[in-house]
Structure 1
Amino acid sequence: MPGTIVGRILAALVGAAVVVGPAASQTSAGQPPLSRVPADQVPLPPPRPEEAKGPAATEPAGKEPAGKDASPEGAGKETARETAKEAPASPIPEPAPLPPERPADVPSGPTPTPATIVPDDTACLRRLDRLGVKAEPVAPLADGLCGAAKPLRVTALPDGVVLAPAATLTCVAAEALGRWSTEVRVIAERTLSKVPQAFQIGGSYECRGQNHDPSAKLSEHAYANGVDVMGFAFEGRAPVTVGATREGTPEAAFEAAVRVRACGFFRTVLGPGSDAAHANHLHLDERERPAGHRLCQ
């Protein structure tokens, strides 16, 4: 086909040259006539539309080659599938390390409570004996978190001062009460000219919360570590009842003085004016606090 077209073009050009004559042998641009141009240098005409189709133009215009998804979604899915094939598999997580073995010397039982901790009362008991405190050991106390491992039943203080009724206390609390009683005797002689014959006890060991509140923190009474003194009995005169003395009287002066001195022997001292729960007695206990802090109100 291309050869036939070229032949026709050359024949037409030669014929035109013979008709036009010498005047047409030169072009306006000064170029030699086409009849003198070698045949292999003559430009070819544009190809026909069907000949423009190459190996890549086998599908109608606007369509993607067969076998591929022409939509953007399809392209995204194809890319995602290829990426998934190329991506390495996720590593399997390592199992969590096991905790270290429990040391053999660590006790496995429940946490000790005040009722199960056994103090060494040997030295304390010797001091009680020298003070003249009358006390005898009783069976260990245990009631849930309440209790005491080595409680004492204290019946009398130095100089024969009786506890009415007897108090159940730890040795530490009994010693503090005995030492304070010697100061009470001196103050009573100075302000009342009489010495006490008995301490009226309102309570000692009792498994309860502070201020008898079931939802409150356990009181020191729950550990036999506290005692309530309601008043003082004398021979030959009326007793002095805590919270019932009138201001300006010797009895009021005695009560105030013994209360102040109690702070030198007990870590907690509460009484009238502290709160409503302590309006009629002196609460004395040996609760330990950080840095030796004491509560005296």
Structure 2
Amino acid sequence: MSQIVTPAAQAPHPLSGVGLGLRHAHYPDFLEKKQPVDWLEVHSENYFSEGGYDRHVLMRLREDYPVSLHGVGLGIGSADPLSLSHLEKLKSLIRQVQPAAVSEHLCWNAAGGVFANELLPLPMRRNLLGWLTDRVDQVQNFLGCRIALENVSSYVRFQDADMTEAEFLTTLARRSGCGVLLDINNLYVSQWNHKVDARAELMRYLALPLDQITEIHLAGHQVRGELLFDTHDAPLTDQVIDLYRFACQHGAASVPVMIERDADIPPLSDLLSELQEVREIRSAAGGGNAES
């Protein structure tokens, strides 16, 4: 494992407290005045362009808020070689924004030169860990910083999987030095679909040193028949909130946490109300102030 630099070591602000995924609909709210949000996360690919309004807004808001760059297109677990063009754009963005954190998804999205615009789950097999550790090293060395990898939602299980997702991702983190971005909504969706105890899987993540869990994500989902679908287009469900409360009660109250809404975007005031509920849960477990 090569020596790498944590983004927070160079960022203008550290990542802490309760954050929100920045979406275009809320640009005016954030530009008009400082909002009661501790940090912002953006999808990296939306800001790859060297100019334009989106980049202008991001560079303005990074003066007031710590920023986390969250990628959705790298596909680190793809069979195809990693895209050098993609990595170069990401590296340039990191250099200019100086984010407090950089993350990607533990997924694949390309094979045989065909790109799928999806976060496709990997087969959780021990014999893939060495190869994937090398891929993480390649990315971290190229970017010059540590990345975190997020658990994704899944709807099928591979017959030859010999590890749970939490076992696989935490083992990868220990081997490569990468962080873990723990998406509690994704964990709940996957464990419901696979009929596995979500709390038991969550405890496997929480067995990591807390400095390896760089962020926690919360979001909503949809019920469709017997399956749950990770849609990020609805308020937080009681089940996701309860699972987050459980995580806080078991040591995760100090981990930076944020709410994602990717579709059916409500007024910012609705999301701020959800953020306040998250703050109160965090504070009750000793993770910070209930008000911001």
Task: Judging by fraction of residues, say which structure has more helix.
Answer: 2
- Structure scoring higher RCO (CA < 8 A, sep ≥ 6) equals 2
What is the TM-score with the length of structure 2 in the denominator? 0.24
